[in-house]
Amino acid sequence: MAKGWPLSSVFVFVLLNAIAWGLKTCPAPCSCSTGPDQLRVLDCNRRRLSAAPLEPLEGINQVSMDLNDLTALPFFGEATANITSLSLVQNRISELLVHQLLPYESLETLDLTSNSLSELRAGTFPSMLLKDLNLSNNKISVLEPGCFDNISSSLLVLKLNRNRLTALPAKVFKLPSLQFLDLSSNDLTRLEDTAFVGLGLLESLNLGENSISRVEERVFSSLANLHTFILNTSSLLCDCHMQWLGAWLTSSHFLHSVSAVCAHPAGLLGRNVLSVLPKDFVCDDFPEPRITTHPETSVALRGNNVTLSCVALSSSDSPMSTAWRKDGEMLYDAEVQNHGRYQDGELIYTTVLHLLNVDFTAEGRYQCVVSNHFGANYSNKAKLTVNELPSFLKTPMDLTIRTGTMARLECAAEGHPSPQISWQKDGGTDFPAAREHRMHVIPDDDIVFIANVKAEDMGVYSCMAQNAAGSLSANATLTVLGES
């Protein structure tokens, strides 16, 4: 504050300065203001924008472009490097690309709530100083190991709630500075012992509103600073591996923030783990799906139908569901038939994938994933190869020439895989032109030459086109006349 200036004068000075800045540099149709600590704020909410405003910006610190039509991170020219806070809530962004994030050299807060992100791949983020990352209410089902590595030293808050995560890859959260992690309202079914390795300073962990059935004993062992922990599940598999949970909740003082209820075995259904005696946690059945029949590797002709099937068993009556993957990617629109039946106290579940009128794009490795409340199991990967019978593009034609000249025969075929071309004479491969090296094939050409034709070259020549799907042949007669 300037010495001797009354408080009201300072206020008026700041206000007029802010108004002047806004009138001078604020791009239409957005509004500008000066926030706390003299931070300059650009408000472009609800403007139906599909890109950043075109007008150049000066001195902007915070940007809000909520409820617009953005499909990618906006770029504000040179001003992008000075932005510390960016809010893009409820747009249509489906992918984060490293080159879009690179210009944000000073970014500390990024809010992408309610967009259409489905995955975070390794290297998604460049090296930056991001502290607060909100990815809630997207469609994220894949966290690839390494996706957070370049922001590991700065990130303090990470929100991944209301997504579609079914599993946490080992050591995906190597974030030594992270203090708050929200994974609530996903589709998590189990917590492996490596899920939270690398979160030594984590203070708050929210795992509420999932369907967690298995929690491995050492999963929380690295969270020495944890003091807020939320978990509510009624899907627990209370077998011998879950005996530790009640004692850990008690010793860690999380009794009031956790609701952990057994779903299996039947004798413990609906019981809180805290009320189950240690001797009652036993391992005498297998409620997780066990795949007994795997899809088989197969070869099909183009245009045919292909069927792949899986069979799984479970000692629990928990409903099973299935998903099919091709080359690791989920098949969302596949034609699948599922049915279950009980036999000898077990649920037998069959899933059948129908691939109709297959073409070469259907080639790949297929895998079924069968799940229930207690976990998921993955089948072996079955390779599908699609072949196409050879068909001729060019066929040899009958030819009459004189001795001593050169014969020219054409033959070409297509198919999948590409067919190999070979030649026979009168049904055999040992004939004079081949034996005497007078038959020449030009690489990458469809023409065969027989040099210095002799009388014994006369006969029927067969072009054979063959691939893994089959073979076919075309014939031409070579007639050799004497010298004129």
Residue 423 pLDDT > 70: yes
Query: Does residue 390 sit in helix, strand or coil?
Result: strand
Could you tell me which residues are beta bridge partners of residue 86? Answer: 63, 110
What is the structure's pLDDT at 462?
Answer: 95
Tokens matching residue 202: 């984590």
Rounded distance between C-alpha atoms, residue 312 and residue 380, angstroms:
13
User: What's residue 316's pLDDT?
Assistant: 81
Q: Which pLDDT score, from 0 to 100, does residue 22 have?
A: 43
- Ramachandran quadrant class, 46 (left: phi over 0; alpha: psi -120 to 50; beta: rest): left
pLDDT at residue 431, as a whole number: 92
Per-residue pLDDT reduced to its tens digit, 94-152: 999 999 999 999 999 999 999 999 999 999 999 999 999 999 999 999 999 999 999 99
Q: Which of 77, 123, 133, 128 is nearest to 107 (CA)?
A: 128
- Reported confidence tier of residue 35, pLDDT bands at 50, 70, 90: confident
Beta-bridged to residue 134, according to DSSP, are 111, 159
Q: How confident is the model at residue 315 (pLDDT cuts 50, 70, 90)?
A: confident
Contact indicator for 351, 371 with CB cutoff of 8 Å: no
Domains and CATH numbers, the chain: 13-228 (3.80.10.10), 290-386 (2.60.40.10), 395-481 (2.60.40.10)
Cα distance between residue 227 and residue 375, in whole Å: 28
Q: How far is CA 234 from CA 160, 210, 229, 260, 271, in A?
A: 21, 9, 17, 6, 9
Q: What is the pLDDT of residues 186-214, one digit of tens each?
A: 999 889 899 999 999 999 999 999 989 88
Residue 298: pLDDT over 70: yes
Q: Residue 3 pLDDT > 80, yes or no?
A: no
Parallel, antiparallel, or unpaired: how do β-strands 447-450 and 439-441 relate? antiparallel
> Which of the two residues, 446 and 112, has the higher pLDDT score?
112
